[in-house]
Structure formats: structure tokens, C-alpha cells
Homo-oligomer: A and B are copies of this chain.
Amino acid sequence: MTSGRATGPAGDDLVGLLAAELDKGGILTGADVSARSSDPFSHVPLGSRALLRPRSTNELARILEICHRHHQPVVVHGGLTGVAGGAAAGTAELVVSLERMNRIIEIDPAGATMTVEAGVPIEAVQAAAAAQGLFYPIDLGSKGSATVGGTIATNAGGNRVLRWGMTRQNVLGLEAVLADGTVVDLMNRFLKNNTGYDLKQLFIGSEGTLGVVCKAVLKLVPAPSTQQVALVSLDSYSDVLDLLARARRVQQLSAFEVMWQDYYALVSGDPARRLVDPDPAFFVLIEAMGSDELNDNAAFAKLLETAFDDGIVVDAVVASSTKQAEEIWRVREGSEILVREMGPFVSFDISVDIRSANEFVGAVRDALASTFGEYRSVAFGHLGDSNIHIGVHVGPDTRERTHDIEACVYGVLRRFGGALTAEHGIGSAKREFLPDHIPPEALAMMRKVHGALNPDWTINPNVLFEH
């Protein structure tokens, strides 16, 4: 299927050839490269011989064509916030960063689209949309760094998928450069377009292994003008499911985030985050975003009141200002507390049937206890999307025991028929587990598609597949 992975390190000749295609700032070498890392959390210096920074699709295409001709593998860098090792690059690879392709090209208010280069950060997209009364719904903790290109390559999710979908559902068109330098213009702007295969889908979520996304047409929606946020506590998982079913009937529902007690107990150690009593078993952040202050507030209040009256909800705080809404969201986004209080931990990003999510969390705890004896774990996530994050600490040597912890948790996951990764992607970190979590026929089909478009493994050779 494949002609083998290209591995030749870049000789001086090749670096010279590439430099000739770029301006002075277009190629970094030596200390300018090793000052960078492929993972901002690890700080391991980048070992690549050169980092290329094209300013245009044409420059990118010429670079890839030259690398392809010389069997030189290339790893593409966006905002480096994927936390799955998708940007990992060694001495054998050159790095291409799209950081200088960062222009917002056009906003079309009538069609509700924005056309951008791949290096634009998500936060800049959101700001430009807001200036036109529009909204780009993809919302990530890392939005200041995460780029359009990176979020497309990984099909990023985030907090509001329940309402507006993943990145895939918010991209109308794109332009990509194939492994051999061919530019493919798929810059569709229409909601409806069945003119041939929807090829852009191949570049979304394939982690850069089929082509490099360099431009995109994003779908915008009218900006919500109201926001309702509440944090509630509940005693049982069946109450959580009941609340979710009721919340789904609120048309403006934009987030339904669940925190298990182990998570909230840890985070509410910070007094600013102790918004409700930490004793109940479950905590849920509910958000709605609409356009009619009076009616939206009323619908949201009615949801909470009837849930309270029916004995589903134990306690609740409702934000009465944007500041309070942010305070509630900070409870859910307490990762710096996890880092500080749990010490090193291994994190998981899985999807599992909503009906059995709590049973799954219990089974993971049992498996951790029987495998490791002492352990600590927290569970939280986007339950409305089936997506749960779990953090696991088994002692000071947690990092070194990563593989064993993963094998333990993924073993339980397989029993529950869950998904190995909900939103972060496989990257290089999970590729050894991929064959156990999709059918062999699907993996074979992935290899066929990969073989048709990137047969020499010249772009992003380190992710998804084991060689």
C-alpha cells in the first residue's frame, strides 16, 4: 500500500534549495529552532534542522514539492495546543509553521462566512466575527494559540459542540496542499454543494496526514446576545440524565458540562471556586445562549425551578452577570489546579454512551485500584456530547507509568465500546492504541486513502499510524 516512510534528513543542499524559495525570515535554523518545542507543556527543544515559515500558498506548495522530490518528511505546526503529540518532530523531519499565513481575507455578512488563512488564531476569528454581529462557535480553552489550520486538521471540539458541532460542522471550504505540492482549491462558500466528492472532509480531522490546510471558509452564525449560566449539584447519575433530557428541550442550550465529585472536591479547594457545597455526587454547568433577554432568562429559570421542585437538583447558583458567568466557567476550567494538586497525571479524552458514562467512570476506578493500588483520579467533561475527560495519578512515577495507565483505562473503554479520542485526536501519543479501537477493515481503509494521497509519508509521518 505504501512505499515506505521517507526518512532522509535534510542535507545542506536541500535547506539551501528551500531557503531560496523564501524571504529572509522564512527559514529558521540552529538556536532559532531549538528555542522552540513541539509541545509547549514539555519544553523539549525542537531537534529539526530547519523550520520553514511560508507566507503564501504558493510558497508552501513550492516547499512541499521540493521536500517531496527529495523524500524529505515534513511536520506541520499550528498553535501546538493539541496535547496528543501531533506536532512531534525529530531530527529526521523539517518543520513547516503556518504562523505567517495569518490574514483574515474576507467576512461576508450576507452569507455569514469568513475566509481566513490557516495561521489565524481562533480568538482572532471570534473577535472579527463579533465585530460584524456574528459568531464563530468553536470555543476552546486554548483559543488564543490554537489556529484555524490546527483546529481543522484535528477537528477540534470544545465546549459548545452540543449546540453548534465540531470544527467539521463549521467549515464550508478550504484550500490544501497535497504531499507532492499540488494545490487543491475547495473554497466552497455554500451551505449546499454536492458538486462531486466533498473532498474537504478528508483534510478535516486527518491530522495533516493527507494534506496541509492553508486557507478556510468558516461558517458563522448570528451572535447570541444573551447568556445564562448555572452551576447545580445533584445526588445521583439518574438525576444528571434526567436534567440533561430536560435541558435538551431548551432550544438555546449551548453547554452541559458534568463534573464528578472527585473533580469538584479538588477544584473547590480554591475558595473562589467553591460556589456550591462540594458534598453531592455530581455537579453540572449548564449554559444557554440566545437573543431574547427576557424570554431566554425565563426559559432557563423555568428549567432550574422545575428541576429543583422535582427534587432532581440539590443546590444551584445562577450567574446574574457576565463576571459571575465567567466565575462559574472557571470551576469547569480548573486544569491549573489539577496540575498543582494532583501532581503529574495522565489525561484521557474519550467518548462513551451517555447512559453508561457513570458506570464507565466507576469501572475505570475499579480497574485503577486493582492495577495500581493507590491512585487518584478526577472525571469531568462535555456530557451532552458523550465526551468525558479523566485525569489519573498513581504516584510520583506517574509519567513513567503512562503506558500502563493507558492500557488499564483503554481496556475498560473497549469493554464499554467507547471512542479512544473524542476531540484531541490520535497524534503520536495514541497511535499504538488505534488498532485496538477501530475495526481492522477501517484501519485498512485509512491506509488505502493515505496511500492514495501521501504514499511516501512525506507529510506528518509521525501521527495516526504505526509504521
- A residues contacting B by CB (< 8 A) are 108-112, 154-155, 157, 161-162, 165-166, 168-169, 178, 182-186, 188-199, 201-202, 204-206, 222, 241, 244-245, 248-249, 251-252, 290-292, 295, 298-299, 351-355, 382, 384-387, 419-426, 434, 437-439, 441-446, 448-449, 451-453, 464
Whether A195 contacts B421 by the Cβ 8 Å rule is: yes
- Specify which chain B residues have a CB less than 8 angstroms from the CB of A188 in the assembled complex: 419
Q: Which residues of B contact A443 (CB under 8 A)?
A: 196
The listed residue (B245, B421, B439) touching A110 by CB distance below 8 A is B245
Which chain B residue has the least Cβ–Cβ distance from A191? B385
Known: A157-B192, A197-B445, A201-B201. 20 other contacts (CB 8 A): A109-B245, A110-B244, A111-B354, A111-B355, A111-B386, A157-B194, A162-B191, A178-B445, A182-B445, A190-B386, A190-B419, A192-B382, A193-B351, A194-B425, A195-B421, A195-B437, A196-B443, A198-B204, A251-B290, A448-B452
> A189 near B353 (CB under 8 angstroms)?
yes
Nearest opposing residue in chain B for A183, CB measure: B441
Residue contact A197 to B192, C-beta cutoff 8 Å: no
A184, closest chain B residue (CB): B441
Considering the chains assembled together, what is the distance between the CA atoms of A188 and B168 in angstroms? 16
Complex formed: what's the CA distance from A437 to B199 in Å? 14
Check if A198 sits within 8 Å of B192, measured CB to CB. no
* Interface contact B193-A419, CB-CB below 8 Å: yes
Q: How far is the CB of A305 from chain B (nearest CB, A)?
A: 15
Q: Are B442 and A248 in contact (CB under 8 A)?
A: no
Q: Nearest Cβ distance between residue A206 and chain B, in whole angstroms?
A: 5
Q: Which residues of B contact A445 (CB under 8 A)?
A: 178, 182, 184, 197, 199, 453
Subset of 14 A-B contacts with CB under 8 Å: A110-B241, A110-B354, A111-B353, A166-B191, A183-B441, A185-B441, A190-B387, A192-B382, A192-B387, A193-B421, A196-B438, A222-B251, A292-B295, A448-B453
- Chain B residues positioned under 8 Å from A189 (CB to CB): 353, 386
- Picked from B191, B199, B206, B444, the residue with its CB within 8 Å of the CB of A442 is B199
CB <8 Å contact, A198 and B155 = yes
* Nearest CB of B to A453, in Å: 6
The answer to whether B291 touches A192 (Cβ under 8 A) is no
Q: How far is the CB of A429 from chain B (nearest CB, A)?
A: 13
The reply to whether A434 and B185 form a contact with Cβ atoms under 8 Å apart is no
Whether the Cβ atoms of B387 and A110 lie closer than 8 Å is no
Q: Are A423 and B194 in touch, CB under 8 angstroms? A: yes
Report the minimum CB–CB distance from A60 to chain B (whole Å).
Answer: 14
Closest approach, in angstroms, between the C-beta of A200 and any C-beta of chain B? 9
Residues of B within 8 Å of A464, CB to CB, are 196-197
Once bound together, how far apart are the Cα atoms of A320 and B421, in whole Å? Answer: 48
Residue pair A426, B245 in contact (C-beta under 8 Å): no
Query: Does B198 contact A168, Cβ atoms closer than 8 Å?
Result: yes
Chain B residues within 8 Å of A451, by CB: 452
Interface pair A192/B422, CB less than 8 Å apart: yes
Known contacts being A199-B446, A449-B449, is A251 close to B249, with CB within 8 Å?
Answer: no
Kindly report which residue of chain B lies nearest to residue A434, judged by CB atoms: B196
Q: Which residues of B contact A290 (CB under 8 A)?
A: 251
Least Cβ distance of A17 to chain B in Å?
24
Taking CB atoms, residues of chain B closer than 8 Å to A424 are 194
> Which B residues are CB-close (under 8 A) to A157?
192, 194
Q: Which one of A168, A169, A190, A295 has the greatest number of beta carbons of chain B within 10 Å?
A: A190
Task: Select one of B193, B201, B420 contacting A422, CB under 8 A.
Answer: B193
A421 in contact with B386 (CB, 8 Å): no
Let me know if B249 and A222 touch, CB within 8 A: yes
